[in-house]
Amino acid sequence: MKFILALLIVVTPSLLQGEEFWRSNAMGIPLQPIGWYRQKEHEWVLRREVQGDADTIVLMQNGSEQERWERFLYPSSGLPRRVTHLKNGMKESVQLFDALGRMTQEQWYKDEAMYQFYEFNYQGVHLTEEKLMDDQGRVIYTDTYRRTPQGRLRELVRSFPDSKLLTRWIHSPNGTVEEWHIDGERTTRRQFTSHGEMSGDLLYLNKTLVDSKRWVYQERALVTFRETDHIKEETYKRSYNSKGQLVLEEVFLKGKYAGESRWEYNKDGKETRRLRIAKGLREEWTSEYSENSLSRVEYRIDGVPSRETFYLKESGKQDVFYWQGEKAVEVYYEGEEKVREIYYSEGKPVRDLILKGGQ
């Protein structure tokens, strides 16, 4: 809730001494100035009190204090020097600032004991280094901010003491970001668009690319996804329609086409047909719906019926198996349990087997 302090200072006029009240919400955002006598009309109220160089902000719910920010100011500028945040009467954090208003340290507490803190270093107005330390002052990690001469963030590097673990974020002028995570011999490189969508995910072992995933977007909608195992030289490329539905998956082995799958959908977005071609085999699934529920699925191999499944309204289903295009077996289910099997020969039933208890 750091933004509450900044927002309150921006929207409220300078208060030299005394109290002021604001209608608020559970987030502590000041919404409207009110008189002290109107506090009981609102569930959430912010109260601000200034005495000398002490500026205190209290968030109250139905007159009961929930959170408090105790600010001590630089007398010459009125900028915060120290801010203590308390929640339910317990210290949550302490922030220290220099005379220019830059935060130099942020301490975090649990059960009134500090368990970690951040230290911040600057060059001019720009943050250059951030360290996270434990309660003993031991560094957990260090973030180093590298900027262009114009001050734009170019790279953020996170390093860990006594470790080969390293994370880098590289920012380009067009807003895209690269994230490098280096852990000894293992390196992960992730790429993001200017809108934050992941566009690349690459894995290196001993500086050799072993696996890659790439996403392509058009007007922020996913168009294609490609995944490659560079050791097996196996690639899957998936294409999507404007509704985000998978419509085509192509497979390549050692750079050569090895097969594909295609999908079709009805106006309700339900799959009506799936076709798979691989290793000289053509498989096809056709789905039908009744009252928006799946009622029938037919499976064909090279255009010849192999299996039909009928979904019955009584929560059961019926499977029909074919042999060389001729009906061979009908199987009936109640739930997941087989209850009946009928065998056919030359299109005629030759055996009707009633099953009891699934036996």
pLDDT by position in tens, the chain (length 359): 444 444 444 344 445 578 999 999 999 899 999 999 999 999 999 999 999 899 999 999 999 999 999 999 998 888 999 999 999 999 999 999 999 999 999 999 999 999 999 999 999 889 999 999 999 999 999 999 999 988 899 999 999 998 889 999 999 988 889 999 999 899 999 999 999 999 999 999 999 999 999 999 999 999 999 999 999 999 999 999 999 999 999 999 999 999 999 999 999 999 999 999 998 899 999 999 998 899 999 999 999 999 999 998 777 899 999 999 899 999 999 888 899 999 999 889 999 998 865 44
- Judge whether 130 lies within some domain: no
- Judge whether 57 lies within some domain: yes
The whole-model pTM stands at 0.71
Per-residue model confidence (pLDDT) at position 198 = 96
Per-residue model confidence (pLDDT) at position 357 = 56
Per-residue model confidence (pLDDT) at position 314 = 72
Per-residue model confidence (pLDDT) at position 16 = 55
Rounded-to-integer distance, Cα 319 and Cα 305, Å:
12
Pull the structure tokens for residue 113.
Answer: 């004991």
- Judge whether 93 lies within some domain: yes
Per-residue model confidence (pLDDT) at position 80 = 92
Residue 21, beta-bridge partner list = 34, 47
Identify the residue whose tokens are 């340290």: 105
- Judge whether 6 lies within some domain: yes
- Judge whether 171 lies within some domain: no
33, 22 in Cβ contact below 8 A?
yes
Pull the structure tokens for residue 30.
Answer: 């000041």
Amino acid in position 99: A
Domain count, the chain: 1
- Judge whether 62 lies within some domain: yes
Residues of the domain holding 89: 1-101
